[in-house]
Amino acid sequence: MSVARISDTRERPRRLRVADQPIPGANLGTTLDLQGPPPIDLALDLVDQVARGLAEEHARWRVHGDVRPANVHLYDNGRGLYARLSAPTPGPGTSLDAWHFAAPELRAGHAPTAASDVYALGCLLWVVLSGRSPHEGGTILGPRDSLLVGDSLQAASVNHVLACALADDPARRYPAAGAFSDDLRIARGLAGSPGSIAVARHQVVVPVPGIPRPVWAALSLLLTGLAVLGWLMLTGLGS
């Protein structure tokens, strides 16, 4: 039987039993690395399963603190895949390491909370839908409410979930995983609604430290001046 260790904010950590029949070596991180993101409906279903499991722990004042694909294990119950959050794992586990799922307050050194778990759920939803981290390149990829494009109600609903979960201010996020799951289930229920839906192909713009533009301009003028001076000197010598 697989177990998951969940830390409790009020008492000694307990062990939480999760589903048996694990698929050998199948965590969500390695699956995404090897196969890419699943169809939108399956992506929403898998993340919702993780959120519902985490909601039970938040209701008991427990936080996980390390929600990411490497800690989401996939199981087969004979009717389809289902996902469960496992204990935190040491090291990155996949190319999408823990930093990509850490809320701003965690990166500032604060302790994990239900709100930081919600932020990680938002990152998880982004990754499972798109196959890439919202923090790829060290910055967020475009507006956080526009990962899905299209005019369907489902696209707007999923984007709303992402915007709420990925707010920088913990007070503006869903208070716990249960509220996240409630809105995500509404979005799932809108599958097949009129209109289009697709994952946006954001351009990754990575700011690279370098020489400021005014300095480049000055250097360009200097080089041009030197070239002209050299030509004049050569012309004078030739005459």
Structural domain boundaries of the chain? 3-208, 211-239
> What count of other Cβ atoms lies within 10 Å of the Cβ of residue 43?
22
- What's the pLDDT tens digit per position in 180-192? 999 999 999 999 9
Output the six-digit token pair for 214.
């005014």
Using DSSP's 3-state secondary structure scheme, residue 233 falls into helix
Band of residue 132 on the pLDDT scale cut at 50, 70, 90:
confident
- What's the pLDDT tens digit per position in 16-54? 333 334 455 578 888 888 888 999 999 999 999 999 999
pLDDT, greater one: 77 or 137: 77
Domain 3-208 has CATH 2.60.120.260: no
Q: Does residue 116 have a pLDDT over 70?
A: yes
Nearest to 95 by CA among 171, 29, 170, 159: 29
Are 50 and 72 in contact by the 8 Å Cβ rule? The answer is yes
Q: Whole-model pTM above 0.85? A: no
The 10 Å CB-count burial string (b at 16+, else e) for 12-21 is eeeebebeee
